[in-house]
Structure 1
Amino acid sequence: MGNTKKLNPVEAAKRFINKRFPSCQGAVLAGSVVRGEETDTSDLDIVVFEKSITSSYRESLIDFGWPIEIFVHNSTSYKQFFEMDYKDAKPSMQRMLLEGIILKDEGIIDSIKEEAKEMLEKGPERWTEQIITTKRYFITDALDDFIGCNNRAEEIFIANTLAELVQEFVLRTNGRWIGSSKWVIRALKHYDVKFTEEYVEAFDTFYKTGEKRKIIQLSEKVLEPYGGRLFEGFSLGKDNL
């Protein structure tokens, strides 16, 4: 059999930068390979700072035996992504740069890493009372649909909606960053491991058995400190007369 072993990820990333971006100002390797969490399908996430470009872009390719995702910025365009991630409370770019391994640096990476660190430590914007009220209503609405539904196909997707709404509510009301996909669980664990286990068990039980009780209890528990379920009296967009 031929040798199909991949290059070491750092070595592959350095070779890639030397080949594709030899004049870049800086480059950072991030993602699961840096955290020691890589799987058979992991790729190399590389942030590149290239002064010759006018706007940021993202590209996927394969080189040196690895699937590679590149996120290319100039010395200022990354700030727009920092701001977008901050407003969405999903600081993916900040995490990538802070945790990343420097592949190349012409004196710009340390200050950008420090900028990412300060933003991560500051945390996301706090939800206003109006936002919390609105989110309470949407969780209540989904919960009522979930309780009353007797169509298995529809129940599954209502549960999906509740899973998204509940994790967002818990994290944002506690001033924590949120995430998407696998980062949902990572963000929850970073906040509270015990709650995360309860959250996973509630939805896992439903998906396996159809039993709704744990999801209902969990949703009500999350809402309780903020006034519980909300339906009567809720209004959105109504002019005050």
Structure 2
Amino acid sequence: MDLARPIDLARQLVSELYPDARAAWLGGSVARGDATPTSDLDITVLQDGPALRKSIEYGGWPVELFVHTEKSLRYFADKDQARRQPTMMRLVGESVVLLDTDGSGARLQQDFLAEVAAGPRPLTADELSLLRYTITDLLEDLASAVGDVQLAIKSVLWQEAARLLLTGSGHWSGTGKGLLRELTTYDVAHGTNHAGALLDGVRASDARLVTAVDNILASHGGRLFAGFELTADI
């Protein structure tokens, strides 16, 4: 894809719709260079207020707009940190700067890029136990499942196993295609093929998914049922 047109179009949109913006960034698949025919323009705008998200069409492109103040950017980045899914941090950090009137565009881009590079906080003991228990329970359900029920369990199981692998190893997680992208990045960095093994297992009619999941569990204490316990202060 020729990046010049979507970048120019994104700049034109910001100039037209947000003339008082302090900064703006184009992130997502277009900025990464892996856009498809159905990709949209993910544009984050920094202004004094108010914060909002909306979807529009502009210049023949679907556009996702994320309009923020510095306070709201930090709020959503903190939510990203809590769930270990760096959506906002990547939208700004891994971006093309469209507008930067006061230096905040480059500053925030670098700040969020550094947070992405630093990775998420480690799993707590309770978080690790809950993931192991959840996956163990899914494996037990899968053992007696057939037909559509089996497919539904598999579709959840590979994702939970991927989250355990990633977050248990100090890597970011995600959802949907974002989770697969994070898992593939992990594989490239570590010379593994967990993404292929998990998805091959989902498609297969034998025990390949169980094997792939147990291989991930083995690195984090194995299956967990007996002795699992969580407490809550209510």
Q: Give the TM-score normalised by structure 1.
A: 0.88
- Once residues 113 and 206 of structure 1 are traced to their aligned partners in structure 2, the CA distance between those partners, rounded to angstroms, is 38
The answer as to 2:142 corresponding to 1:146 is yes
* Gap regions ≥5 residues in structure 2: none
Q: Is the 8 A contact 1:199 1:218 kept in 2?
A: no
Match of 1:131 in 2: 127
Q: Quick one: which of 35, 38, 46 aligns to 2:43?
A: 46
* Gap regions ≥5 residues in structure 1: 1-6
- Once residues 200 and 215 of structure 2 are traced to their aligned partners in structure 1, the CA distance between those partners, rounded to angstroms, is 18
CA displacement at 1:42 relative to structure 2: 1.1
Q: Quick one: which of 12, 32, 37 aligns to 1:35?
A: 32
CA displacement at 1:114 relative to structure 2: 2.2
Q: Secondary structure at the match of 1:8?
A: helix
Match of 1:155 in 2: 150
Shift >4 Å, 4+ stretches: none
The answer as to 2:72 corresponding to 1:68 is no
CA displacement at 1:75 relative to structure 2: 3.0
Match of 2:118 in 1: 122
- Once residues 206 and 75 of structure 1 are traced to their aligned partners in structure 2, the CA distance between those partners, rounded to angstroms, is 42
* Greater Rg by CA: 1
Q: Is the 8 A contact 2:197 2:212 kept in 1?
A: no
CA displacement at 1:30 relative to structure 2: 1.2
The Cα RMSD (Å) is: 2.0
- Once residues 135 and 237 of structure 1 are traced to their aligned partners in structure 2, the CA distance between those partners, rounded to angstroms, is 15
Cα distance change, pair 33–226 in 1 and its aligned pair in 2 (3 A)? closer
- Once residues 183 and 220 of structure 2 are traced to their aligned partners in structure 1, the CA distance between those partners, rounded to angstroms, is 19
Cα distance change, pair 98–158 in 1 and its aligned pair in 2 (3 A)? same
Cα distance change, pair 65–199 in 1 and its aligned pair in 2 (3 A)? closer
Cα distance change, pair 227–76 in 1 and its aligned pair in 2 (3 A)? closer
User: What is the aligned length?
Assistant: 228
Cα distance change, pair 104–191 in 1 and its aligned pair in 2 (3 A)? same
State how 1:95-110 maps to structure 2 within 5 Å: 95-107=90-102, 108-110=104-106
CA displacement at 1:23 relative to structure 2: 1.6
- Once residues 19 and 37 of structure 1 are traced to their aligned partners in structure 2, the CA distance between those partners, rounded to angstroms, is 27
CA displacement at 1:226 relative to structure 2: 2.8
* Residue type at the aligned position of 1:88: R
Match of 1:3 in 2: none
- Once residues 106 and 206 of structure 1 are traced to their aligned partners in structure 2, the CA distance between those partners, rounded to angstroms, is 49
Q: Secondary structure at the match of 2:38?
A: coil
* Identity across the alignment (%): 30
Q: Quick one: which of 211, 214, 231 aligns to 2:208?
A: 214
Match of 1:188 in 2: 183
Q: Give the TM-score normalised by structure 2.
A: 0.90
